[in-house]
Amino acid sequence: MSELKNDRFLRALLGQDVDYTPVWMMRQAGRYLPEYRATRTRAGSFLDLCKNPELACEVTLQPLERYELDAAILFSDILTIPDAMGLGLYFVEGEGPRFRKTVRSEQDIADLPRLNADSDLAYVMQAVRTIRQALGGRVPLIGFSGSPWTLACYMVQGGSSRDFRQIKTLLYRSPELMHALLGKLSEAVTDYLNAQIRAGAQAVQIFDTWGGVLADGAYQDYSLAYMQKIIAGLIKEHEGRKIPVILFTKGGGGWLELMAGVGADALGLDWTVHLGQARARVGERCALQGNMDPSVLYADAPVIRAEVARLLAQYGPGNGHVFNLGHGIEQHVDPAAPRIFIDAVHELSASYHS
Amino acid sequence: MSELKNDRFLRALLGQDVDYTPVWMMRQAGRYLPEYRATRTRAGSFLDLCKNPELACEVTLQPLERYELDAAILFSDILTIPDAMGLGLYFVEGEGPRFRKTVRSEQDIADLPRLNADSDLAYVMQAVRTIRQALGGRVPLIGFSGSPWTLACYMVQGGSSRDFRQIKTLLYRSPELMHALLGKLSEAVTDYLNAQIRAGAQAVQIFDTWGGVLADGAYQDYSLAYMQKIIAGLIKEHEGRKIPVILFTKGGGGWLELMAGVGADALGLDWTVHLGQARARVGERCALQGNMDPSVLYADAPVIRAEVARLLAQYGPGNGHVFNLGHGIEQHVDPAAPRIFIDAVHELSASYHS
């Protein structure tokens, strides 16, 4: 593998010295880019694009051609695992993911196959290898998975939800079934992330998109505990480098102290959290990744720069910060805006690093 | 007006002694009750029901017939103000509220009429008077309004939203227009709540349903500041009693210290917040209202009772707690479940009060 030319992202996740704050954007390969839409059209459906390693590589690299990003992230979906388990993932335009089969009964859970990520999700591993090759050491590649709780939400509900009625009924009426499902998913996620690391992912992020819909107490038992289990089972080092783990629970700002204790190297923050307060709460235990509201990218350049300046000042001087958006970049953003954002992070952060 | 027979709710909001923890449920008059559905059918649409004081009174009292609730809440909608401003509120089954007209330009904002709640929202004041009469002092009546930010979200978006793109674009591109709109709405909300108090509301709650979609910093400037302004303009005392104000920002758990400083008597909590930690953060400045996950009502009786016991223990001994759900009761709840919940609060809380 080629030498890594820009390792600021990996260093920042581990709290090491950097000359400026590294930045990437969740969903940086996406519909706001015309070149993405063109590749997507060639691929067919969104899922066809995810399952085509060459095209997945192409879109992964597109934002790097435009912007001075400090990391690439594997182009894929968070629901590849349940899809590989046979639930039949598909997408309804404007309504998000759906499954043809739901998982609600003891039998449904027992019937879920045990996956081997290297073979059952070979297309993902092939994409990771292809992207690493194409990156040629330019920036590190991030692998990822949905959290067990987040995967379970989609599997039990059969798609997105407002009230999460089916899965919460399962949780509160049949906690033992809920734990059985989450246990199976934790094993699958651990295997999946380890396969990505072996294929070349240099950091991994666990997306706990729906952890924030859980009550305090339930979050600890049904989401955080399983993410802790996964982290404990991950490959710690590969190609002679530590593989940092980022934990991101959207809406989880109230639980940062707990999240800091489960072995992750960095915590993702949504934009409701004050960066300086989060840093004080978490201390030296974890780096922080975040957290500008992606809607700021609808603003004019001076407002974008001012927001970047405000957030850098909130975090303050020193290491352990990766700049990002608090959620995925939105499809209606003008592609000129991320450049203003990314360049502002680099330019304005230098003075915070010695 | 008749003497108030059960004032535990009002006393708890003011941090005064009570013999048990009072309890009510957001959206307690609602579709989970067959008698509500029957009245709703007689009324016609949801909005017809809101606008008919006799029938609004009927459904307000229905949950009190079934359960030992410690408060009644006016049956109405949070969007009565923009409807009275001429935006044309209507409801699409399963999709929430919509407006025929949106408010996005300087002209749109300038065109919004200044309301007189007593005349422009006379049906609400008539409902308050009718309900107070019918209650005969059994329990206090809560009035309410949406927060300016929450009303603005619906007015600018034209309905519910996932990404709040239109309003956030307005906020980040034209903050002066955003402030102009919020200023107008603050005046309308202040007048509206004062009219409800004069008509007989004995406590008021401000529902900041969408405050939690704002970034830290933006929440303070675009939601909290306007709620503070409203509270400063409210009638403090009526019929010889203090009128307590409850502030509820869903997803606002990170800002409790700030919310405690704007003059509200109590803060509503969603279920992601640990009650004991919230109490420690807020201190004596505010009472707390909340916060069981409404989905717990899908569970069996022992689980419901255990959750109530857990939350009472979190809050601990002493005054200043009103038990509630962290969000409105859901329509698929079995009407047997709220009785288990409410009776458990009363029974299990007595030992926490001297």
Q: Which two tokens stand for residue A231?
A: 């982290």
pLDDT one-digit tens code per residue, A279-318: 999 999 999 999 999 999 999 999 999 999 999 999 999 9
* pLDDT reported for residue B17: 97
CA atoms within 13 A on the CB side of A21: 31
Catalytic residue among A7, A77, A83, A270: A77
* pLDDT reported for residue A94: 77
Comparing CB atoms, the residue among B219, B272, B332 nearest residue A212 is B272
Q: pLDDT over 90 for what percent of chain A?
A: 97
B251:A272 CB<8 A? yes
Question: Which residues, other chains included, contact B353 with Cβ-Cβ below 8 Å and sequence gap of 6+?
Answer: B17, B18, B19, B20, B21, B317, B318, B319
Taking 70 as the threshold, does the pLDDT of residue B24 lie above it?
yes
pLDDT one-digit tens code per residue, A119-136: 999 999 999 999 999 999
How big is the A-B interface in CB pairs under 8 Å?
Answer: 94
* pLDDT reported for residue B178: 98
Residues of B in contact with A251 (CB under 8 A): 251, 272
Please give the single-letter amino acid code of residue B46. F
Active site residue B315: no
Decide if A156 contacts A171 (C-beta within 8 A). Answer: no
Q: What is the DSSP string of A331-346?
A: TTS-THHHHHHHHHHH
Decide if B199 contacts B129 (C-beta within 8 A). Answer: yes
User: How many angstroms separate the CA atoms of B354 and B332, rounded?
Assistant: 37
Residue B10's alpha-carbon distances to B6, B139, B193, B274, B353, in angstroms, are: 9, 9, 17, 23, 16
Residue B14's alpha-carbon distances to B241, B243, B353, in angstroms, are: 11, 9, 15
Give me the mean pLDDT over the B281-308 stretch: 97
Active site residue A281: no
B293:A219 CB<8 A? no
A295:B254 CB<8 A? no
Taking 90 as the threshold, does the pLDDT of residue B95 lie above it?
no
Question: Which residues, other chains included, contact B246 with Cβ-Cβ below 8 Å and sequence gap of 6+?
Answer: B13, B142, B203, B204, B205, B206, B264, B265, B266, B267, B268, B289
pLDDT one-digit tens code per residue, A316-350: 999 999 999 999 999 999 999 999 999 999 999 99
Nearest CA to B228 out of B182, B273, B269 is that of: B182
pLDDT one-digit tens code per residue, A79-88: 999 999 999 9
Nearest CA to A75 out of A34, A40, A117 is that of: A40
What's chain B's average pLDDT?
97
Give me the mean pLDDT over the B166-178 stretch: 98
* pLDDT reported for residue B354: 80
* pLDDT reported for residue A354: 80
A273:B216 CB<8 A? yes
* pLDDT reported for residue B93: 79
Q: What does the angle CA A121 – CA A141 – CA A90 come to, to the nearest 5 degrees?
A: 40
Q: How far is B220 from chain A (nearest CA, A)?
A: 11
Residues of B in contact with A214 (CB under 8 A): 272, 293
Taking 90 as the threshold, does the pLDDT of residue A162 lie above it?
no
Question: Which residues, other chains included, contact A248 with Cβ-Cβ below 8 Å and sequence gap of 6+?
Answer: A205, A206, A207, A208, A267, A268, A269, A289
Q: Do β-strands B237-238 and B241-242 pair in parallel, antiparallel, or remain unpaired?
A: antiparallel
Taking 90 as the threshold, does the pLDDT of residue A115 lie above it?
yes
pLDDT confidence of A225, banded at 50, 70, 90? very high
* pLDDT reported for residue B1: 61
Taking 90 as the threshold, does the pLDDT of residue A264 lie above it?
yes
Active site residue A154: yes
Nearest CA to A200 out of A64, A60, A87, A315 is that of: A60
pTM of structure: 0.96
B216:A271 CB<8 A? yes
Residues of B in contact with A218 (CB under 8 A): 293
A303:B164 CB<8 A? no
Q: Which stretch of DSSP H or E encloses residue A111? A: helix A106-111
pLDDT one-digit tens code per residue, B301-340: 999 999 999 999 999 999 999 999 999 999 999 999 999 9
Active site residue B27: yes
Q: How far is A5 from chain B (nearest CA, A)?
A: 34
User: How many angstroms separate the CA atoms of B104 and B167, rounded?
Assistant: 8
Catalytic residue among A20, A67, A154, A219: A154
Q: What is the DSSP string of A245-261?
A: EEEEETT-GGGHHHHTT
